[in-house]
Chains A and B, each alone.
Chain A
Amino acid sequence: MSETVAADQSSAPLRGKRILVAKPGLDGHDIGAKVIALALRDAGAEVIYTGLRRSPEFIARVAVDEGVDAIGLSILSGSHCELARQVVDELKRRKASDIALFVGGTIPDGDHARLIELGVRAVFTNDMTLDDAIRAVARELR
C-alpha cells in the first residue's frame, strides 16, 4: 500500500495543484507553453492555458479568480524582463504575491538572476528536461 502511494507521488508530483500557463505579450510561439501544459497535466496538475496575447493584468486576474497555486509565463520574444515585472506588479496589486511565478522561453543566461530578483521562482529554458522542470515546480509548491 505504501509503495503505491510512493509511486503515485513520483508519477504525479503535482496532484492537487492548479497551474495557469500564460502567454503574455505578442509572441505567438506557443508550442513551448502547450508542451509544458501537457507535461504539467501528465504530472497530475490541473492546468489552465490562457491562449495567446494576454495582458499582464488579464493573467493576474485569471490567476486570482481561478485560485491557482502557480503561474507559468512563456515568452520567446525577448520581452521577458518587462513582462515578468508587470505580472509581479499586478499580482502585488491584488495581494496575490503568494502565487508562485515561473518563466520559460528563450531567456539568456544573463537574465536569469534579474528575473529571480523580480520575484520569479525559477526560470526554464529549452535545454532543461521536462522532468527537471516538473521537479523544480513541485519543489517550489511543496
Chain B
Amino acid sequence: MNAPEAPATLRPPQLTQTSASGIDVPVKVGPEAVEPNRIGEPGQYPFTRGIFPDGYRGRLWTIRQYSGFGTAEESNERYRFLLDQGQTGLSVALDLPTQCGYDPVDPMARPEIGKVGVSLSSLSEAEILFKGLDLASISTSFTINGTAAIVYAMYLAVADKQGVPRAKLTGTIQNDILKEYVARGTWIFPVRPSMRLIADSILFSNSATPRFNPISIAGAHVRDAGATAAEEMAYTLANGLAYVDELRRRGGDVEKFAQRLSFFFYVHMDFFDEVAKFRAGRRLWAQLMKERYGVVDPKAQMFRFGVVCGGSSLVAAQPYNNVVRVAVETMAAVMGGAQSIFTCAFDEAFQIPTEFSAEIAVRTQQMIAYESGIGRSVDPLGGSYLVESHTNRMQDEIERVMRQIDEYGGVIKAIEDGWLQMRLAERGLERKRKSDTGEAVIVGQNHFHRDDQKNEVGELFHLDPQVSARVIEKYQRVLETRSTAEVRAALDKLAAAAEKDDENLMPYLVDCCHAYATVGEMVATLKAQWGEFQEPVRI
C-alpha cells in the first residue's frame, strides 16, 4: 500500500506563527498572561470561566441534533428515533418555502418543498410534526428567521391544542434576521420592520413563555461564509447590541429581556482560536451589558450559547475523516463552555445525513461527555498561560472589528448599504484562495490526498420524490376544511395591528395560526404593509 503523499505543487505544511483567525501565537507564553482579576471566578462577572460555578457537573450541555425533511410525518418519525437514541432536545429544520414565507403552491416554492427541512405551511402540519411528543417535556429548537414569529405562534397554537400550558414550553427560535441579510438569505421584510417583529416576539415570549429562548443570535453563518473566529464573534455581538437597542426602544427592560438572549456559533478546527473565542466573547458581552447599559443582574449579563461542530470545516474529500474533525471541535466547544452542542454528521458536507451517520454524530458527544471526563472540572483550560493570552488577544481583535462597524455607522446601516455583505464576500474569496493554494491545510483535500481516493460514502439518503405532491395535497385539504371567514377576520386584524407601531403582533399571529391561516397568507399580509427588503447587490 502506498503512503499518501502531498502533491508536488504544494510544499509540506508548516506550523504557522498565526492562528486561523490571524492572531499571533508565540512559541512560548509565560505566567504574565494570567491576570486573576481579569479572569474572575466561574459563575461570576465577567464570566470568562463560564456562567455556572459548577460547570457541567450541575448540568451537562444539551445534545441537540438538527433534522427535519420531507413531510411532517417523516420528520415526526425521525424525532421519535432521535429521542429514543438519548437525545435531549429536538432541532427542527424547515424547508425554504416555510423559511421565506411562500405557500407550497407558489411557483417559487415548488422545486424546494421538503428539500432542506420539513414543510410547515399551516398549524395542521405542525400538529402532525409534534404528534405524540409531549411539548412540556421536550425542548424544541427551530432554525427559523424571516418567519420566526409565525413559526413561534404556530408552536404556541400546537401547545394550546395539546393542552400544554404555554409557560411550560422550552426551546429556541433562531429569530436573528440581521445575519440573514448578510449571509443566509431568508430575509423577507426591510430591516426596520423586521427588527420590530423580532422585538415583539421577544417581549411577548418573556411573559408568555418565560422558559423559552426567543432569539439565538447567530454567528455561524457568517463564519461559514468566510469570516474568521474573531469576526464571527464581533459581528454577532454587534448584532446582539442592535437587538438590545431595539428592545429598549420598544419599552423592554434590559434587566429582564437580556436574560433570555442566547447565541449560536460554529466551531472550526483551530482549537485554541475556538476556546478563546468563547471565553473572550462571554467576557466581552458581560462587560458591554454592565458598562453600556448598566445591567446589574448577573443573569442578564450572562452569555449563553449553543454551537454547531462541523459546517464548512467538513469536506467531501475522504469524508470519514470528518468524524475526527467533529470530535476535535466538540472538545473545543466543551472547553469553551457551550450550553448546547450540535454535531454534524460526517456526510453533511454533501448530503442529508443518514441514520448511520447521524448516530455517530450523537455518539461522538456522548463519548466526550461520559468517557473522556473533560467536563468534570469547570473551565479546565482556565489559567493556562497560552489560553489566557490567546483569550486576551482574541478579545482585542473582536473589539477592533466591532469598532470598524461602529465607525461605518452601525450594523443596520452596514447591512442596508451592503457594506458588510461585500466585506464578507471578499473574506470568502480569500478563504477559498488559501484552501486552493494549500496555505490553509485541509487534510485529504489539498494535502495528503491520493489520486485514487473515493469521496463517496456507502449509503446515500434519498428524498422521496412524492414529498412535494403530498405536501401540496395536504395544503389543499386545509384550504377546503377551514373557515374562510375566520381566516379573513384574523388576517384583517393582523394587518390593522401591523399598521400601528405600538401594537405587539404576536397575539394576532397566534390567532391567525388557530384559524389555520397559512404561512404564505400571514407573510403576504405583512408584506402589503411593510414591503420587501431590496437587496443591495454589490459585487
Tell me the A residues contacting B by CB distance below 8 Å.
Answer: 21, 25-32, 34-35, 37-39, 41, 47, 49-53, 55, 77-79, 82-83, 86, 106, 108-110, 125-127, 129-131
Task: Tell me the smallest distance from the CB of A17 to a CB of chain B, in Å.
Answer: 16
Question: Which residues of chain B are within 8 angstroms of A50 by Cβ–Cβ distance?
Answer: 537
Interface assignment of B97: CB less than 8 Å from any CB of chain A: yes
Shortest 4 CB-CB distances between A and B: which pairs?
A28-B185, A26-B96, A34-B425, A31-B225
| Cross-chain contact of B185 among A29, A78, A108, A109 (Cβ < 8 A) | A29
A77 touches B535 (CB 8 A): no
Interface assignment of B463: CB less than 8 Å from any CB of chain A: yes
A31 touches B317 (CB 8 A): no
For the complex, give the distance between the alpha carbons of A52 and B21 in Å: 29
For the complex, give the distance between the alpha carbons of A39 and B180 in Å: 24
Which of B110-118, B197-205, B244-252, B480-488 forms contacts with chain A? B110-118
Task: Tell me the smallest distance from the CB of A15 to a CB of chain B, in Å.
Answer: 18
Quick one: which of A37, A110, A127, A129 has the most chain B CB within 10 A? Answer: A127
B316 touches A52 (CB 8 A): no
Interface assignment of B384: CB less than 8 Å from any CB of chain A: no
Chain B, range 422-447, C-beta contacts under 8 Å to A: 424-426, 428-429, 432-433, 436, 445
Q: Can you spell out 20 A-B residue pairs with CB atoms less than 8 angstroms apart?
A: A25-B96, A26-B96, A26-B97, A26-B100, A27-B112, A27-B185, A30-B185, A31-B183, A31-B224, A31-B225, A31-B226, A34-B429, A35-B425, A38-B539, A53-B100, A82-B110, A109-B455, A125-B316, A126-B316, A130-B432
Task: Tell me the smallest distance from the CB of B320 to a CB of chain A, in Å.
Answer: 16
Quick one: which of B96, B109, B111, B315 has the most chain A CB within 10 A? Answer: B111
Interface assignment of B122: CB less than 8 Å from any CB of chain A: no
B425 touches A77 (CB 8 A): no
Task: Tell me the smallest distance from the CB of A53 to a CB of chain B, in Å.
Answer: 7
A38 touches B425 (CB 8 A): yes
For the complex, give the distance between the alpha carbons of A127 and B107 in Å: 32
> Do A127 and B116 form a contact, CB below 8 Å, given A27-B96, A28-B184, A38-B425?
no
Interface assignment of B99: CB less than 8 Å from any CB of chain A: yes
For the complex, give the distance between the alpha carbons of A63 and B99 in Å: 28
For the complex, give the distance between the alpha carbons of A131 and B429 in Å: 12
For the complex, give the distance between the alpha carbons of A26 and B112 in Å: 7
B96 touches A77 (CB 8 A): yes
- The residue of chain B having its C-beta at the shortest distance from the C-beta of A40 within the complex is B539
Contact with A along B401-431 (1 / 0, CB 8 A): 0000000000000000000010011101100
| Cross-chain contact of A38 among B102, B108, B429, B455 (Cβ < 8 A) | B429
Question: Which residues of chain A are within 8 angstroms of B194 by Cβ–Cβ distance?
Answer: none
> Do A78 and B317 form a contact, CB below 8 Å, given A26-B99, A83-B111?
no
A127 touches B112 (CB 8 A): no
